[in-house]
Amino acid sequence: MSCSCSVAHWSRTCASVASSRSSSTECTMWVIMTGMHAEPRDIAERDTGTGTDRIRIGTITGDGIGHEIVPATLQVVAAAIEATDRDEPEPLRIEWVPLHIGHDAIERYGTPLPDETMDSLAALPGWILGPHDNVSYPERFAGTVAPGGAIRRRFDLFANIRPARAFAGVAATSPRMDLVVVRENTEGLYADRNMSTGSGEFMPTPDVALAVGLVTRRATERIARVAFGLARERRRRVTIVHKANVLTLTTGLFRDVCREVARDYPDVTVDDMHVDAAAARLVRDGASIDVLVTENMFGDILSDLTAELAGSLGLAPSINASTSQVMAQAAHGAAPDIAGRGVANPAALMLSAAMMFDRLGEMRGDRRLRVVGRHVDRAVRDTIASGVATADLGGSASTTEFTETVLARALRW
**Any idea which residues carry the catalytic annotation?**
190, 243, 276, 300, 304
Say how far residue 57 (Cα) sits from the centre of its chain: 14
* Distance of alpha carbon 48 from alpha carbon 320, whole angstroms: 28
In sequence order, what DSSP letters do the residues of 317-370 get, joined into one string? --EEE-SS-EEE--SS---TTTTTSS----HHHHHHHHHHHHHHHHHHT-HHHH
CA–CA distances in Å: residue 111 to residues 39, 136, 244, 334, 339: 15, 13, 41, 18, 22
* Distance of alpha carbon 51 from alpha carbon 127, whole angstroms: 20
**Strand spans (E) along 31-136:** 54-60, 93-99, 126-129
Q: Of the candidates 311, 378, 306, 42, which has an alpha carbon nearest to the alpha carbon of residue 161?
A: 306
Q: Left if phi > 0, otherwise alpha if psi is -120 to 50, otherwise beta: which for 143?
A: left
* Distance of alpha carbon 264 from alpha carbon 280, whole angstroms: 29
Half-sphere exposure (Cβ direction) of 280: Cα atoms closer than 13 Å: 4
Let me know: does 365 contact 13? Beta carbons within 8 Å.
yes
DSSP assignment, residue 214? B
